């Protein structure tokens, strides 16, 4: 029911540096994809506590011609399958394929990806949560109107802290990793229901 969907709280996750280990050479294949410690458990905990998890990620690796769209889709399908096998669920993935010079509206810190997710899933952004490891993630969430933003220290977290201080942007919490973020989120948002992982992905 539409009324129930509006009550669902969505947790947006950045990908590289939050779910998996980031790389200066980009993630170009599933063999290069490495889940960060605790990230699978974190997504499971969020799912089992009634949160809808979506991924919001910049993937300029596409326009840099370092990977095909089909290869990226394979990485994401394998990521979702692995998460599902561990008891979690990623409902949807939104990515920007552009480089900064393209000046698109979907590359974080611009808000295009979150707004696309909002339109597709009828999300109440005021009750949504964003977890990221970069200043771009936090800025994007603030600009889009997400109610809660969390910075994790994995990935680019240390640099992000400095950049955010310079811009006078404050996340609601700064935590070590995604698992700590999940605990923080769950402790402040008691679940009304625990639907568990779904068996289908959009």
Residues assigned a catalytic role: 14, 16
DSSP code string of 78-143: HHHHHHHHTT----EEEEE---GGG--SSSTTSSHHHHHHHHHHT--GGG-EEEESSHHHHHHHHH
Instruction: Compute the radius of gyration of the chain from its Cα atoms.
Output: 16
* Torsional sign, CA 187, 178, 142, 80: negative
Closest listed residue to residue 10, CA positions, set 40, 41, 45, 55: 55
Distance CA 156, CA 163 (A): 11
- The neighbour count for residue 180, using CB atoms within 10 Å, is 18
């Amino acid at each position: 029911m539409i009324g129930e969907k509006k009550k669902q709280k969505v947790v947006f996750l950045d990908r590289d540096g939050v779910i998996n280990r980031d790389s200066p050479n980009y993630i170009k294949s599933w063999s290069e994809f490495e889940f960060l410690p605790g990230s699978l458990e974190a997504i499971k905990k969020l799912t089992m506590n009634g949160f809808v998890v979506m991924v919001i990620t910049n993937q300029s690796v596409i326009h840099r011609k370092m990977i095909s769209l089909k290869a990226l889709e394979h990485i994401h399908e394998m990521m979702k399958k692995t998460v599902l096998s561990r008891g979690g669920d990623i409902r949807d993935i939104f990515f920007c394929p552009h480089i900064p010079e393209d000046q698109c509206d979907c590359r974080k810190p611009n808000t295009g990806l979150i707004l696309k997710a909002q339109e597709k899933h009828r999300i109440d952004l005021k009750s949504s949560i964003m977890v990221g490891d970069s200043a771009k993630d936090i800025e994007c969430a603030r600009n889009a109107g997400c109610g809660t933003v969390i910075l994790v220290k994995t990935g680019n977290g240390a640099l992000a802290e400095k950049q955010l201080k310079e811009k006078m942007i404050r996340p609601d919490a700064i935590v070590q990793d995604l698992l700590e973020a999940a605990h923080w989120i769950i402790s402040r948002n008691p679940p009304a229901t625990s639907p568990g992982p779904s068996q289908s992905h959009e």
